Chain A
Amino acid sequence: MTDRYNPQVIEHLVRPRNVGEIEDNHGVGESGDSACGDVSRFSVRMEGLRLEEVRYKVYGCAACIAAGSALAEMADGKTIIEAAAITSGDIEDALGGPLSKGKEHALTLVLDSLHKAFEDHWNRDFEALLADGGYLGNGESGKKTVVAAMSGGVDSAVTGLLLREAGYDVVAVTFRLHDGEPGSRSCCSPDTVLFARDTAHRMGLPHFTLNLKELFGTRVMSDFVGSYEAGKTPNPCVSCNAHVKFHAAAFLADRIGYNKVATGHYARVGEGPSLARPEDETKDQTYVLWPMPKELLARTIFPLGDYRKTEVRAIAEGRSLAVATTPESQDICFIPDGNYRKFVGKRIEAKAGEIVDREGNVLAEHSGIANFTVGQRRGIGVSAPTPLYVTDVRPTTNQVVVGRKKELEVFEIGVKDLNWFLDPEESASVQIRYNGEPVECDVSEGDYEDEWVVRFHEPVIGVAPGQSAVFYTDDGERVVGGGVVSRRG
């Protein structure tokens, strides 16, 4: 049976508010598609942060038309931050109560198109983010305000919650980083944006989405593929933290006059400022945070640094956050199935080449160097009495070098692209893998330009160019700095 609509829905249908499209607008967003029945488009005109005018158009059922009308009326005249906090429930209240079953999509549809208009608005100022210094706000004004990155997962949700409970005005932001696999819940894909918005709104937080697909594509994904092509082992999370995530959060904070930025990383901000290891050593993410610019770190909060993961889940459950039971996010967000070989293989032309030993004897053929990483043992395709490991990948000759485990041992590496938080001389140990054990070392400036030399106190196996080398203080608690391994031995 079809339920009767509330009189408020019919009233909005017959006399829709704010119909139209603003020609001279500051943001336009559209959601839905005509093939599936409903389309909504919002346009906004702004004066500073105030929405001076909000207009909408809808093709669809009565619920969509009425929801759009109610939302446009509510958002009109509010600040963009206030409008970004309007929830589906708020629209339902304006329409006299819950819509009948099967009509709830109207709320998501119109809300999403308004949010896409906001996204478009920020996107128009995007050159500022791409340029250096897009994050120049100093985070030092009076109010406790913070932009918190929100993926929709349990960590970021609890981050928002803890900040709010600590007295901050919190604005949640989700980054649209890649198109993802259709229907998948991999982080930062389209469905995740809706989920993250819903999570933020349930906590009463305003929510924005920033479209960083271009930035992420050039700075992270292409770099990821290019590194494999160059025989290196890249870490995309490091690139994202170096160039994308914090810059974007700070970009938004600057635009809305907010001071701080926050993420759900497990790390702490120590003196200096410097990065410090978190309470939960099993979730330590300092290794992937080393390239954060110091100016950004100075205005960053990592609320989860003082908590263990089990406590974070307990907080989420205690506050009845739906995200409490969401699975852990993947290693690489844009490769949800974890098969990065397939991902890389689709994007570069594989060229067959030789597999050789240390002396240069040809042992076999390989189908492309991108399939090989230093330290790899499986899938080499050469039988030998003792296990063989990849000891080197040489892009110039398109060769893969294999050898015994002993040949993987390295005593010295070169490191470039350094980012220091503290005096380099404080470096006492180095970590060269996520979740790896730090190894005692000496660090000194090398003979080559921009290169530093790291000498291990004991041999280390499986160091590959492209990986991050992160230096820790004597007590192992603070990050001195980090860089990218440029050579081994």
Chain B
Amino acid sequence: MNSPVYLDNAATTPLDERVFDAMLPYLRGARGNPSSLHGAGADAREAIEAARGHVAAMVGASPEEIILTSGGTEADNLALFGLARSAPPDKCHAVVSKVEHAAVREAAKRLEADGFEITWLGVDEYGMVDAREFSASLRDDTAFAAVMWANNEVGTIQPTMELAGICAERSIPFHSDAVQAAGRVGMDVGESLVSTLALSAHKVYGPTGAGALYVREGVEVSPILFGGGQENGLRSGTENVAAIVGFGEAARLAREEMAERAAHEGELRDLIIAGATEVPGVRLNGHPERRLSNNVHLTVDGVEAESLVLMLDALGYAVGKGSACSSSGHKASPVLEAMGQSEAEAFSALRVSTGKENTLEEVEGFLGAFAGCIERLRELSPIQAS
């Protein structure tokens, strides 16, 4: 068998060799704690500050606005709990879209259980939030609103500029989970008036275990971790220096190479969409134009996604089930449900996500295997295709 073809870049990306090289010195041998006074500690501190600068530059922020975290999930949690806790006591309402990543959704559910009132904002058939509906759901007691920049499952890009602008006008903090979008979509917090922005390293060819929350100057966020007071008191805990350095290098490369990468993975994405939807009973989910450059999300009629994923895996193609994060239980994805799809349709959903390392040959090979597996599974199925 050939070496596996990796088409699950939305789940995690391969570690860039250049990033790996940048990290190595901080993994090997004597390392200083960034809080230490000695030279080794200062070296580590400087490395972190350099990385912070690259992360900030990726989204057009200044370094002081970047809080380094253990990843996207922590950044989302810090944003939601941090904004909720720092809001005035009479503001205990939030607007959260129904298509958020679990890191936002579950945090919001916890706030709800603790007495916060959440307006769960619906989406259209493409997974898109309506700006007017969003605006109408904001109230005088709204503490914050959260709508992701781009959806991790179906790839739809939200009208973030517009939503953030609406919130800014009413002085309501607006959080955006940009874990999937950052490094793919041009992002400048000087233009998009978001208050907080969650970022992750391992979606942009960096290591796992590093992420960040951008917090606009003047926006109040309470910490959720307490201890040594690192990250300006907002994120206690000894810094994961190597991962942070990796994140910095990954962010630097992402900014430099974004246009090139987006064009490459976008071309492959379009080839997959065109080829896959030629197979009868296969259709694209998410917005046809306003979608992430690497995301293909498909419903395959008459085929159970798990079987298809594992069969493709056995043939050397790694792709994702409808949603990688909720795929352990046999539970329909809330995103597809919010888009009006049935449970049965959700079980037939597949996510194929391209990356900068993928090639045209790989995509062609994948399309052949994809059609072949679907044919096999449909032959195997006792249910007549409708």
Q: Does B238 contact A (CB under 8 A)?
A: no
**Which chain A residues in 132-166 approach chain B with CB under 8 Å?**
none
Q: Does A58 contact B (CB under 8 A)?
A: yes
Q: Does B28 contact A (CB under 8 A)?
A: no
Report A-chain residues with C-beta under 8 Å of the C-beta of B347: 37
Q: Which of A12-20, A175-183, A337-345 lies at the interface with chain B?
A: A12-20
Q: Does A62 contact B (CB under 8 A)?
A: yes
Q: Does A2 contact B (CB under 8 A)?
A: yes
Q: Does A48 contact B (CB under 8 A)?
A: no
- Residue pair A30, B382 in contact (C-beta under 8 Å): yes
Report B-chain residues with C-beta under 8 Å of the C-beta of A129: none
- Residue pair A60, B307 in contact (C-beta under 8 Å): yes
22 contacts between A and B (CB under 8 A): A2-B328, A5-B310, A10-B313, A14-B311, A16-B380, A19-B379, A21-B382, A34-B383, A35-B344, A37-B330, A37-B347, A39-B381, A39-B383, A40-B382, A57-B381, A58-B380, A58-B381, A58-B382, A59-B381, A61-B330, A62-B306, A65-B307
With known contacts A10-B314, A13-B311, A35-B344, A59–B383 Cβ distance under 8 A: yes
**Which chain B residues in 309-366 approach chain A with CB under 8 Å?**
310-311, 313-315, 327-330, 343-344, 347
- Residue pair A2, B327 in contact (C-beta under 8 Å): yes
Chain A residue with Cβ nearest B381 = A59
A286 to chain B, nearest CB (A): 48
How many angstroms from the CA of A102 to the CA of B381 in the assembled complex?
A: 21
Report A-chain residues with C-beta under 8 Å of the C-beta of B329: 102
Q: Does A41 contact B (CB under 8 A)?
A: yes
B residues in contact (CB < 8 Å) with A? 302, 304, 306-307, 310-311, 313-315, 327-330, 343-344, 347, 377, 379-383
Chain A residue with Cβ nearest B313 = A10
- Residue pair B304, A37 in contact (C-beta under 8 Å): yes
- Residue pair B382, A1 in contact (C-beta under 8 Å): no
Report B-chain residues with C-beta under 8 Å of the C-beta of A2: 327-328
How many angstroms from the CA of A102 to the CA of B328 in the assembled complex?
A: 9
Count of chain A to chain B residue pairs whose CB atoms are closer than 8 Å in the complex: 60
How many angstroms from the CA of A5 to the CA of B315 in the assembled complex?
A: 15
How many angstroms from the CA of A38 to the CA of B377 in the assembled complex?
A: 13
- Residue pair A102, B311 in contact (C-beta under 8 Å): no
How many angstroms from the CA of A249 to the CA of B67 in the assembled complex?
A: 75
Report A-chain residues with C-beta under 8 Å of the C-beta of B302: 59
How many angstroms from the CA of A57 to the CA of B383 in the assembled complex?
A: 9
A residues in contact (CB < 8 Å) with B? 1-2, 5, 10, 13-14, 16, 19, 21, 30, 34-35, 37-41, 57-62, 65, 102
- Residue pair B310, A57 in contact (C-beta under 8 Å): no
Chain B residue with Cβ nearest A105 = B330
A70 to chain B, nearest CB (A): 14
- Residue pair B307, A13 in contact (C-beta under 8 Å): yes
Report A-chain residues with C-beta under 8 Å of the C-beta of B343: 35
How many angstroms from the CA of A5 to the CA of B302 in the assembled complex?
A: 23
How many angstroms from the CA of A21 to the CA of B379 in the assembled complex?
A: 10
- Residue pair B304, A13 in contact (C-beta under 8 Å): no
Cβ 8 A contact of A59, one of B310, B313, B330, B382:
B382
How many angstroms from the CA of A59 to the CA of B380 in the assembled complex?
A: 7
Chain B residue with Cβ nearest A38 = B304
**7 cross-chain pairs, A with B, having the tightest CB-CB distances, nearest first:** A41-B382, A57-B382, A59-B381, A61-B306, A2-B328, A14-B314, A62-B310
- Residue pair B328, A1 in contact (C-beta under 8 Å): yes
Residue in B302, B311, B343, B382 whose Cβ sees the most chain A Cβ within 10 Å: B382
With A59-B302, A65-B377 given, name 13 new contacts (CB 8 A). Answer: A2-B328, A5-B310, A10-B314, A13-B310, A14-B311, A35-B344, A39-B381, A58-B380, A59-B304, A59-B381, A60-B304, A61-B307, A62-B306
Chain B facing A: main interface SS: helix
How many angstroms from the CA of A1 to the CA of B329 in the assembled complex?
A: 9
Chain A facing B: main interface SS: mixed
A192 to chain B, nearest CB (A): 25
- Residue pair B381, A10 in contact (C-beta under 8 Å): no
B375 to chain A, nearest CB (A): 12
Report A-chain residues with C-beta under 8 Å of the C-beta of B306: 61-62
Report B-chain residues with C-beta under 8 Å of the C-beta of A1: 328
How many angstroms from the CA of A19 to the CA of B329 in the assembled complex?
A: 28
How many angstroms from the CA of A19 to the CA of B344 in the assembled complex?
A: 23
Report A-chain residues with C-beta under 8 Å of the C-beta of B381: 39, 57-59
B85 to chain A, nearest CB (A): 31
- Residue pair A62, B383 in contact (C-beta under 8 Å): no
Report B-chain residues with C-beta under 8 Å of the C-beta of A41: 382
How many angstroms from the CA of A62 to the CA of B381 in the assembled complex?
A: 12
How many angstroms from the CA of A2 to the CA of B329 in the assembled complex?
A: 8
- Residue pair B382, A19 in contact (C-beta under 8 Å): no
Chain A residue with Cβ nearest B309 = A62
Chain A residue with Cβ nearest B343 = A35
B323 to chain A, nearest CB (A): 12
How many angstroms from the CA of A45 to the CA of B304 in the assembled complex?
A: 28
How many angstroms from the CA of A174 to the CA of B305 in the assembled complex?
A: 36
With known contacts A2-B327, A59-B302, A102-B330, A10–B382 Cβ distance under 8 A: no
How many angstroms from the CA of A2 to the CA of B310 in the assembled complex?
A: 12
B384 to chain A, nearest CB (A): 10
How many angstroms from the CA of A10 to the CA of B373 in the assembled complex?
A: 13
Report A-chain residues with C-beta under 8 Å of the C-beta of B330: 37, 61, 102
Report B-chain residues with C-beta under 8 Å of the C-beta of A62: 306-307, 310-311
A73 to chain B, nearest CB (A): 14
How many angstroms from the CA of A19 to the CA of B380 in the assembled complex?
A: 6
Chain B residue with Cβ nearest A10 = B314
How many angstroms from the CA of A34 to the CA of B301 in the assembled complex?
A: 12
Report B-chain residues with C-beta under 8 Å of the C-beta of A102: 329-330
Report A-chain residues with C-beta under 8 Å of the C-beta of B307: 13, 60-62, 65
Report A-chain residues with C-beta under 8 Å of the C-beta of B383: 34, 39, 59
How many angstroms from the CA of A19 to the CA of B377 in the assembled complex?
A: 10
- Residue pair B304, A61 in contact (C-beta under 8 Å): yes
How many angstroms from the CA of A62 to the CA of B311 in the assembled complex?
A: 8
How many angstroms from the CA of A13 to the CA of B377 in the assembled complex?
A: 9
Chain A residue with Cβ nearest B305 = A61
How many angstroms from the CA of A5 to the CA of B310 in the assembled complex?
A: 9
How many angstroms from the CA of A13 to the CA of B381 in the assembled complex?
A: 13
How many angstroms from the CA of A289 to the CA of B157 in the assembled complex?
A: 74
B207 to chain A, nearest CB (A): 21
How many angstroms from the CA of A10 to the CA of B327 in the assembled complex?
A: 18
How many angstroms from the CA of A58 to the CA of B307 in the assembled complex?
A: 11
How many angstroms from the CA of A40 to the CA of B302 in the assembled complex?
A: 14
How many angstroms from the CA of A60 to the CA of B348 in the assembled complex?
A: 10
How many angstroms from the CA of A35 to the CA of B381 in the assembled complex?
A: 14
Cβ 8 A contact of B310, one of A10, A37, A39, A40:
A10
Chain A residue with Cβ nearest B321 = A2
How many angstroms from the CA of A38 to the CA of B306 in the assembled complex?
A: 12
Report B-chain residues with C-beta under 8 Å of the C-beta of A65: 307, 377, 380
Residue in A1, A2, A40, A60 whose Cβ sees the most chain B Cβ within 10 Å: A60
B308 to chain A, nearest CB (A): 9
A9 to chain B, nearest CB (A): 8
Residue in B306, B311, B315, B381 whose Cβ sees the most chain A Cβ within 10 Å: B306
Report A-chain residues with C-beta under 8 Å of the C-beta of B315: 14
Report B-chain residues with C-beta under 8 Å of the C-beta of A14: 311, 314-315
Chain A residue with Cβ nearest B307 = A62
Residue in B302, B310, B315, B327 whose Cβ sees the most chain A Cβ within 10 Å: B310
Report A-chain residues with C-beta under 8 Å of the C-beta of B304: 37-38, 59-61
Report B-chain residues with C-beta under 8 Å of the C-beta of A40: 382
A453 to chain B, nearest CB (A): 61
B320 to chain A, nearest CB (A): 12
